[in-house]
Amino acid sequence: MVIPLAERYRDRLPFTDATPVVSLGEGSTPLLPAPRLSRRLGVELWLKWEAANPTGSFKDRGMTVAVSKAVEEGAQAIVCASTGNTASSAAAYAARAGIPAVILQPKGAVASAKLAQTRMYGARILELRGTFDEALEAARELAAVGTHSLVNSLNPHRREGQKTAVFEIVDELGGAPDAVYLPYGGGGNTTAYGQAFLELDGRPSRLVAAEAIDRAGTLASAIRISEPVHAASVQEALERTGGHVVTLSDDEILAAWHDLAASEGLFCELCSAAGLAALAKEPPEPGATVVCVITGHGLKDPESAGWLAPPPVVVDPDPEAIAEAAS
């Protein structure tokens, strides 16, 4: 049985005896070795497979805390803006808590399976004729009215939950790796990782935040965010840990995405390969121990597989034709 975050890290999270814990069994995700990529890149590479969370992304770590606290504080409903994953996670935990969720998302810019999830969980989805950044502003305004509790990563409880990924990595490796690479959209996750290292004894891992050069138009729709709200705290976390930002073209992210699937058997969503793309672009010292955080599942965005992977071959039920086509 998966131990919920609220139990595994209770002493480091803002839970009290009065908190009604809303959990779907998040966290405790696999830390997988990556032997082929390690050899090729000359490092000891580990992949933190956050797609194993209940709704398929790391957002669930923060959402269990944010929704639990919202319910404790008497919230009647929650609201968030999203490029897709926060929406699915908020909708799932709201369903679990028995309260309504309102989602504001940029129209036409959310991957199909994320939308399918969010609809099934029963959230009220408002498709904004505008960008993610405008959706976030709208969500903040609705929350300010007082009827809905904001569960974007501006909510500190979200970041509290998300920092637990670092605790798991450090626990499993028996210490902090030399560097941790992760995608950088709004920067809530990078900020949360920075917070985690502040709470741990010893040398922190260098945090490397991998962002798209074309923030407003990248194919990686999850990080299609022009103005990262956490830019200042990301900068602070990178400076404190000796890390930096790596800026990537879509081609660089696409190449790493294909590599993760074809070389290591991990099908993630496009933006989740940004950390690996940054590692390949600006490699650390040879032999360094490195973790790339794979933030979301490839099944969330099945259409995008068509950009790189060859289509199936059509055959008749004829043994000779099949043998020929199979080779």
- Give the footprint of ligand AN7 on this chain (CB under 6 A): 57, 82-86, 153, 183-190, 222-223, 269, 271-272, 295-296
Nearer to ligand AN7, 215 or 325 (CB): 215
Cα–Cα distance measured from residue 318 to residue 279, given in angstroms and rounded to the nearest whole number: 46
Rounded to 5 degrees, φ, ψ at 293 are -90, 115
Nearer to ligand AN7, 23 or 117 (CB): 117
Nearer to ligand AN7, 96 or 215 (CB): 215
Tell the residue number behind the tokens 């490796």, with chain if given: 173
β-pair partners for 182: 209
Q: Rounded to the nearest 5 degrees, what angle is found at the Cα of 304, between the Cα atoms of 299 and 307?
A: 140
Residues in contact with 4: Cβ distance below 8 Å, sequence separation at least 6, in sequence order: 21, 23, 25, 26, 27, 64
Nearer to ligand AN7, 72 or 299 (CB): 299
As measured in angstroms, the least distance from the Cβ of 95 to ligand AN7 is 17
As measured in angstroms, the least distance from the Cβ of 180 to ligand AN7 is 13
As measured in angstroms, the least distance from the Cβ of 39 to ligand AN7 is 26
As measured in angstroms, the least distance from the Cβ of 114 to ligand AN7 is 8
As measured in angstroms, the least distance from the Cβ of 185 to ligand AN7 is 3
As measured in angstroms, the least distance from the Cβ of 273 to ligand AN7 is 10
Nearer to ligand AN7, 102 or 320 (CB): 102
Q: For residue 281, what are its two tokens?
A: 């672009």
Nearer to ligand AN7, 9 or 184 (CB): 184
